[in-house]
Amino acid sequence: MLPLLLTAAAALRAGVGIYDITGPAQDVNLMGMANPAQKAEGILQRLRARAFVFADGASRPVAFASLDAGMGGFVLKQRVLAALAASLPGVFDDASLTISGTHSHSGPSGFLQYTIFQFAGSGWVAETIDAFVSGTAEAIVRAYRSLAPARLTLASAEVADAAINRSPTAYLLNPAEERRRYAGDLDQTMVQLHVLAPDGTPRGLANWFAVHGTSLNNTNRLLSGDNKGHAAYLLEARQNGPTSDASRAGAGPFVAAFASTALGDVSPNTAGAVCRGGARQGEPCDTVHSTCPDDDGRPRAQLCTAAGPGADMYDSSRLIAQRQADVSAAMLDGAARAGGVEGAVRGVLSYVPLGEGVEVHAANGSVIGTTCAAAMGEAFAAGTTDGPGMFDFNQAGNSSNPLFKFLASFLRHASPKLAACQAPKPVLLPTGEINFPWPWAPSSVPVQLLQLGQHFIAALPTELTTMAGRRLRAALAARLAARGLWQSDSLVWISGLANGYADYTTTYEEYQQQRYEGGSTIFGPHQLQAYIEALLSLADHLAAGTTPPLGTPPKDFSHDVESSLLGDLLTPPRLKAEEPPRGRAFGDVLLDAPPQVAAGGEVRVAFVGGNLRNDPRVQDSFVRVEAWRQGGWRLVAEDADPTTRLLAQREEKHVVLTAVWQPPVQTAAGQYRITLHGAWMKNTACNICPEKLTPVQYNGTSRTFALTPPQRAA
């Protein structure tokens, strides 16, 4: 066996790639909180697709892409595959490509075709899906074209103080014997895969750690990869150097992906949930229902919210990012000494019809139940302590809410069969039974298993809770061992929100309490077991070297959505011809920088601008912070850097764009300026012709200001 392992290890090749997927930064609802008021109004950090390609020289290469996005999507993946078929014909297929979202709740919506997600965002937004598809495909192409002999190593470590379980009472419903196997209701392990050159030089890494992308709450209006996007930035800056003309953030060559895993009940808001008003302000919330009494004693979910460890949500995101980045960096420093990855690289995938009643089984093979047509429970409408819902619903509540009756009568009641199958869930929306004007929820979902040598990745289109993830990994490891694929150092981990999106997955026991995660487990109480059995079947095919049946993929009806009247009603406003204020031009400064700023302070410059959707400036930047060095202006920060923010305020015929820079205390003193680059829309049609919009580029520049050392406290 030893010569075979050495041959396999020597044959491994890997490539890394990264590309811009920022998309529309204005007018589009952010994806994740389902808050219609949460429309993008600028950029905190640009969004990226980070891709890794692995090849063993014998099988089809495997690609993994992690996106600074809410989740993967079925249409997104199919369009990426089509783009790859055009540029890399015959290289990748559905089974050999994984696209996973980091689960940032601060990326643009508009890339999920099911009707419920149309209403949760801004309908179908071509600008979003196009940016995601083109950027992801380009990142994968770059990774493939950088394939080279590589050493792959795997390590794991604990990340402290970066997360809490936001549904601890549901976790306690799991069997005591099962809970005793684990250290508490939180999985704090980060698994990290390193891509090294043969000489040990780091080329990239991907890690998986369970924490939600909700450090930024539903009041945020700026595009951001949240804590995981920020952590990726920190590792890439550490390896590639700080932003400069020669080393721009997001340009590589070192690529670091902080990917999602079983994060369903895991919050980054480590200060916990407390009452933000009402009769018990400042006290802990009700732990079962996540409510607080208002001044009249009525329980309100809106009064119960959680906060992170920082001074505000942006500081909290930074701190949670830093805690992940510090652990990742320590593992990277020991990457050459970590366990080697040796063996085959393969992927298998099937589409499983969970919405059509898949039978699930006990250990003795007897049928214990079936999955159900999809449905959302009342707790779904309650939201979570990371972002409560807008209406008077409670987690673990019942159907006493009058809005429930209104919504049910407006859409449709759950059939008796669906209600019985989903019990004890009080069904709010029977999404699996609503097909007007298009399906409201998936029925068939992708289940994928990747093999990287002696290690395995279960890629699922869902958010598993902590115990659901533990139970799935344990079952899969046992089957892999029984089939002879497990080695003493093998690991199996979960890549969540991958290849599609089908909401949450709890354990059967957690489902009974019907907190948010249970109310959002759409295929009923046996959903987790159905996922487990589908993965066990894929493990059997991996062991036998056979191709599993593909099953029936969902129908792609996105083009119907895009061209529909409903699509027109939900999508962002059409771009219009713009004009500057009287006596002004685009790029003019409305509020200039002060003559002098201390490091650690803040600089704001406001410009006459155009809509940020006019030109997304892919792989570029709207804002540049420049320093006068060596006889010229040199780049020191831009949109991709968390020290900058770009704020968009719509006026009647133009946009006021405010560039904000918060120079870190260690920033070198000197002369600086801030520049803005964008496009405004001009009507270039003749007087009697229909409007024809043409983007016109413009630039603006602040005064030169002096940056001084940080001010000392008195």
Where are any strands of DSSP class E within 342-432?
Answer: 345-352, 359-361, 367-370, 376-377, 383-384, 387-388, 427-429
Does the pLDDT at position 507 exceed 90? yes
Q: Which backbone phi and psi does 84 adopt, to 5 degrees? A: -70, -35
Q: Which backbone phi and psi does 603 adopt, to 5 degrees? A: -120, 135
Tokens linked to 229 = 């996007």
Find where tokens 């899906």 sit.
129
pLDDT at 338: 95
Q: Which backbone phi and psi does 5 adopt, to 5 degrees? A: -65, -40
Are the beta carbons of 111 and 125 closer than 8 angstroms?
yes
Are the beta carbons of 99 and 65 closer than 8 angstroms?
yes
pLDDT at 412: 66
Number of neighbours of residue 269 by Cβ within 10 angstroms: 26
- Binding residue per annotation — 103? yes
Higher local confidence (pLDDT), 369 or 711: 369
Where are any strands of DSSP class E within 396-528?
Answer: 427-429, 445-452, 455-459, 463-464, 492-495, 504-505
Q: Which backbone phi and psi does 445 adopt, to 5 degrees? A: -130, 150
pLDDT (tens digit per residue) in 235-278: 999 999 999 999 999 999 999 999 999 999 999 999 999 999 88
Are the beta carbons of 182 and 165 closer than 8 angstroms?
no
Tokens linked to 625 = 């912070």
- Binding residue per annotation — 342? no
Amino acid at site 43 = I
Average pLDDT over residues 398-423: 71
pLDDT at 10: 43
pLDDT > 70 fraction of the chain, expressed in percent and rounded: 95
Cα 390 to Cα 41, 186, 382: the distances in Å are 21, 28, 8
Tokens linked to 40 = 């993008």
pLDDT (tens digit per residue) in 162-216: 999 999 999 999 999 999 999 999 999 999 999 999 999 999 999 999 999 999 9
DSSP annotation string for 184-241: SS---EEEEEEEE-TTS-EEEEEEE----B-SS-TT--SB--HHHHHHHHHHHHHHH-
Q: Which of 66, 146, 267, 290 is catalytic?
A: 267
Does the pLDDT at position 9 exceed 90? no
How far apart (Å, rounded) are the C-alpha atoms in residues 681 and 576? 7
pLDDT at 158: 98
pLDDT (tens digit per residue) in 603-629: 999 999 999 999 999 999 999 999 999
Number of neighbours of residue 256 by Cβ within 10 angstroms: 28
- Average pLDDT across the chain, whole number: 94
pLDDT (tens digit per residue) in 555-570: 999 999 887 777 677 8
How far apart (Å, rounded) are the C-alpha atoms in residues 298 and 279? 9
Average pLDDT over residues 444-466: 98
How far apart (Å, rounded) are the C-alpha atoms in residues 147 and 136? 17
Tokens linked to 26 = 């204005």
How far apart (Å, rounded) are the C-alpha atoms in residues 600 and 606? 20
Average pLDDT over residues 84-107: 98
Tokens linked to 59 = 């099988």
How far apart (Å, rounded) are the C-alpha atoms in residues 229 and 213? 9
pLDDT at 623: 98
End-to-end CA distance of the chain: 70
pLDDT (tens digit per residue) in 289-326: 999 999 989 998 989 999 999 999 999 999 999 999 99
pLDDT at 178: 98
pLDDT at 642: 97
Strand pairing report for 292-293 and 492-495: unpaired
Does the pLDDT at position 6 exceed 60? no
pLDDT at 402: 52
Higher local confidence (pLDDT), 391 or 456: 456
How far apart (Å, rounded) are the C-alpha atoms in residues 228 and 159? 13
Partners of 674 in beta bridges: 625
pLDDT at 356: 97
Are the beta carbons of 45 and 233 closer than 8 angstroms?
yes
pLDDT at 413: 83
Residue 531: pLDDT band by 50, 70, 90 thresholds?
A: very high
pLDDT > 90 fraction of the chain, expressed in percent and rounded: 87
Amino acid at site 66 = S
Contacts of 90 (CB under 8 A, 6+ apart): none
pLDDT at 433: 96
pLDDT at 181: 97
Q: Any catalytic annotation for residue 267?
A: yes
Tokens linked to 156 = 């794991």
Q: Which helix (H) or strand (E) holds 165?
A: strand 164-165
Residue 685: pLDDT band by 50, 70, 90 thresholds?
A: confident
pLDDT at 564: 77
Dihedral of CA 552/555/135/209: which sign? negative
Does the pLDDT at position 597 exceed 90? yes
Higher local confidence (pLDDT), 320 or 10: 320
How far apart (Å, rounded) are the C-alpha atoms in residues 414 and 429? 7
